[in-house]
Every structure is written in structure tokens, then in C-alpha cells.
Amino acid sequence: MTELSRSEQLHNQLETIISQAQPGQRLPSEPHLATQLGVSRATLREAMRTFETQGLLRRRQGVGTFVVRPTQVIESGLEVLESIETLSERIGLPVSMGDFQMVSCAADEVVAAKLGVELGAKVLCISRVILADERPVAFLVDTIHPGLLVSEEIGANFTGSVLDVMLKRGAPVLEHSRCEINAVAADGDVARALDIQRGDSVLRFESLLYSIEGKPVDYSFSYFLPGYFRFHVVRRVG
């Protein structure tokens, strides 16, 4: 039998500690845990990052590291565009909207090119945090083509999905979304929104939503916390 490497042993030791802990339980401090496992703090921190990426650990600056165990995972294929609210309703997982901001912004070069508007044109920018299990699990940022959606339509009943607002209104008629998916290191804004550490891995969807006329409607970034989401693609052979 092949002898496990030290990194594999450390991974197994941490996995045992996490599996035996209760959700929400704080782990021993890094210095204490590093001494207990016989590794440096840098080595321990690197090993723990794997479990953070899986959504099993959550570090809070100045407070400690806590065990997180999602009650349910939001799973979806990528062939059909659906909101988080629609997906969560399907599995019976309650979600709600946390921090929310809606402002009129001037289109920069990237937004102007994506939405086909003039540089500096006024666009509607909507950002919000989605909560599950009373913690942030997604951070969504939409930039809407001028005149397609007014702030009055985002009223007290808004639950976080710009897509659902447009679908309910029925105009413009939406046809498809082009999406680029990457695992990225959280910058300061994303880290604050999701209550994670800067540099932690998140799944980012960069999307451009089109109307049936082929015109860009909504340029968006969606950041998903690993562990709470599982996406898949059905691929045809041939």
C-alpha cells in the first residue's frame, strides 16, 4: 500500500476534525491547531483553504474559523437560465435578500461596449447579496441597458432577481444569455459582500442577456460561494 504524503495526511486529519464538529462550531485557533497537527501555520492555512473552497469552513477576520455545513445544495444545469429564487424553491431551500443597492451609474468603456451604449450613458446598476442558512451565499451585480428597467419597478417586493422582474413584465422578450464561467479570487468588494477573506475562491458568472431582437439587455456578474451551489452541463455525444 502506498504511504500517504504529509499533505494527504494533513488533509485527512482536517477532514476528520471538520466531520466531527457541529455546524457553526469554531475550530481551535490556528497556532493551537498547527501545533496539534505538527505543521507550520502557513502549511495549515493552505490546507484549510481547500475546505474553504468546498464551503466547509468559513474564516472571519479577528474572530476565528468556523465549520459550515450547508443544509442543502442548489444544483442546476446550465442549459436553462433560471434565478436563484426559482432554483431554491424547487428544492425547498429558503433564500432571502440581504444588502441591496440600486444606483444610476455612468457607463464605463467595458459597460458601454457590452451594452452598445455611449460612454458615460446613464445605466441602472443593481447589486445585492442573497442569503441562505442565514449567511451570504451569492453576490449579484446587474447593469441594465438605459430605459429598459426603471427603479420604480424594483419595489418593496423585489427579492433579488432582475431576471424574474423582466420575465414577469414580459418586455423586453428575452431569448438567451451568453455566460463565461471562472473560478476567481475574491476582491475586496466581493469578500465583504460574502463575508469571506480577500483572495478566497468563488465561482464567477459573467453574463450578457439578450432580447429576442438580439439586443443586449443586462450585463451581470454573479459570484457564488462554493459548497452551496453545484452546476452541471448535459452534453450530447457527437
> If you average pLDDT over every residue of the chain, what do you get?
87
**DSSP state string for 65-92:** EEE---SS-EEEESSS---HHHHHHHHT
| Pairing of β 216-224 and β 229-232 | unpaired
Q: Picking from 47-56, 73-82, 84-93, 114-123, which range would have the lowest pLDDT averaged per residue? A: 47-56
For residues 73 and 12, which has the higher predicted lDDT (pLDDT)? 12
- What mean pLDDT comes out for the span 194-219? 91
Percent of the chain residues topping a pLDDT of 70:
97
The per-residue pLDDT for range 36-61, each reduced to its tens digit, is 988 898 888 888 887 876 778 887 77
The alpha carbon of 37 is separated from its chain's Cα centroid by a whole number of angstroms, namely: 32
> Model's pTM, two decimal places?
0.80
Res. 110 pLDDT band, cuts 50 70 90:
very high
Look at residue 1 and tell me whether its pLDDT is greater than 60.
no
User: How far is it, in rounded angstroms, from Cα 67 to Cα 18?
Assistant: 6
User: How far is it, in rounded angstroms, from Cα 143 to Cα 126?
Assistant: 6
Look at residue 81 and tell me whether its pLDDT is greater than 50.
yes
pLDDT at 15: 87
Res. 76 pLDDT band, cuts 50 70 90:
confident
Residue-range domains of the chain with CATH: 6-67 (1.10.10.10), 74-232 (3.40.1410.10)
The per-residue pLDDT for range 150-176, each reduced to its tens digit, is 777 787 678 888 999 889 888 899 999
User: How far is it, in rounded angstroms, from Cα 64 to Cα 28?
Assistant: 8
Res. 4 pLDDT band, cuts 50 70 90:
low
